[in-house]
Amino acid sequence: MKQGHKVARALALLCTLLVSASAFADESYYGPRLIEEQVRVPAAGGYEVATTILRPDGNGPYGVVVLNHGVSASARERARESAELLINSAQVFARRGYVVVMPLRRGFGATGGAMAEDPGSCANPDYFKAEKAAADDVMTAYTYARGLPYVDPSRMVLAGQSAGGMVSLFTAGTRAPQGLVAVLSFAGGRGGDPETSPGVPCAVEPIAKVLDSLGKQTRVPVLFNYAENDLFFSPRITRQWFDRYTAGGANAEYILQPAFGKDGHYMFSDVVGVRYWLPTVERFFASHNLPFERLDAADPVRKPLLAFDRLPNVKSDGCKSLYRAFLESPGPRAYAVSEDGRCGFAGGQRDAQESAMKQCSTVAKGACALYAVDEAVVWKDTTLAGEPDRTQNPSAGLSAPGTKVIPVSHSK
């Protein structure tokens, strides 16, 4: 993600934190204006937790999602950990009125130091000790976030991917944080090794025992979200873990998404994966009366772009969900539809329009045409294919500057 102009840099006197803030304000980003800040939060143990905050540009008060990263296999990979790996997912929450707080735990990225959450050998792991250390760092960021002036401290969410999902569950159960209203675990677990043991982690029962305990202590609704082709944790294992967790009385929901890419473990962090997990989170939040509407949903200028019921020819849920991916994607981006209701999408690449048309053409029997480009609907009722309508978007059809985002494309 390419950042825009730096707008502030100040010392937060209360916590003696060096804060730098950047606005998402370039051609690669669309949607409500967001602010990104880098802070170092002092922890009780005398160290600092490097934390990225992504928030709406406003006074709030906003809810908070403390979004936790996974655990890489090697020290080199852990040293390279950063919020950039989850930034696309973080933007989805920030566009819906949440401050997203992404701490780097000890042993990861800019926080540095020794890894505090090593469970030991796979033959005899101590996950209670490992998760306790990880939860200390999560709570450091959590407590800091509740004190921010633009935050509603009574609307806190713990979320994470892989080991980040596991520490979110552990923190909710063992710390009972003030203001916590929900937990989101995406591909949550520990001990997976897709190369040597696809789908079967090395310590199934030790994790189950941790979940036994957590299920008896957690008092907020919890979402377990997995993909059918998760090569770290297979559906058989994750369903077993979920059953052990809910046996203790926890209020939890298990969702198994369709197979995604080569390894569904990474669905949450992939731009296209939003087509699956976002509707699930929307339903989950709605069922627990938690707000989750885009901040620009009522903007009359943006309503045509955000309206799913206006997609021409499209009747399938697949193409509607792919349009969700388009709306959450960085730019340059484009979405195309065909006469027979097929579609194509591309985002984060200079040739997005050509790529979206190509993706559509590979699955369509009829002619394809661009429906939306960047942040404007370019479709006309008379459109079949060819040149987009530049009266609504003067830049449509023109090449755009390159960006640093990962290009994606898909068809349905």
Architecture of domain 6-287: 3-Layer(aba) Sandwich (3.40)
- Cα–Cα distance measured from residue 270 to residue 260, given in angstroms and rounded to the nearest whole number: 10
Q: pLDDT 10s digit of each residue in the chain, 412 long?
A: 333 333 222 323 233 333 445 555 455 678 899 999 999 999 999 999 999 999 999 999 999 999 999 998 888 889 998 899 999 999 999 999 999 999 999 999 999 999 999 999 888 999 999 999 999 999 999 999 999 999 999 999 999 999 999 999 999 999 999 999 999 999 999 999 888 889 999 889 999 999 999 999 999 999 999 999 999 999 999 999 999 999 999 999 999 999 999 999 999 999 999 999 999 999 999 999 999 999 999 999 999 999 988 999 998 899 999 999 999 999 999 999 999 999 999 999 999 999 999 999 999 999 999 999 999 999 986 555 444 443 333 333 322 222 233 344 455 5
Instruction: Find the farthest-apart pair of alpha carbons in the chain and give their distance in angstroms, rounded.
Output: 67
Q: Please report the pLDDT score of residue 214 as a whole number.
A: 97
Cα–Cα distance, 29 to 328 (Å, whole number): 9
- The candidate with the shortest Cα–Cα distance to 226, out of 208, 197, 253, is 253
- Residue 6: the pLDDT is 30
Structure tokens given for 409 = 């494309």
Residue extents of the structural domains in the chain: 6-287, 305-411
Please choose, from the candidates 189, 186, 183, the residue with its C-alpha nearest in 3D space to the C-alpha of residue 168. Answer: 183
Two tokens, residue 316: 């399938």
The pLDDT score that the predictor gives to residue 75 is: 84
- In DSSP notation, 280-334 reads HHHHHHHHTT-----TTTT-TTTHHHH-GGG-SS---HHHHHHHHHHHHS-SSEE
Residue 149: how many other CB atoms lie within 10 Å = 7
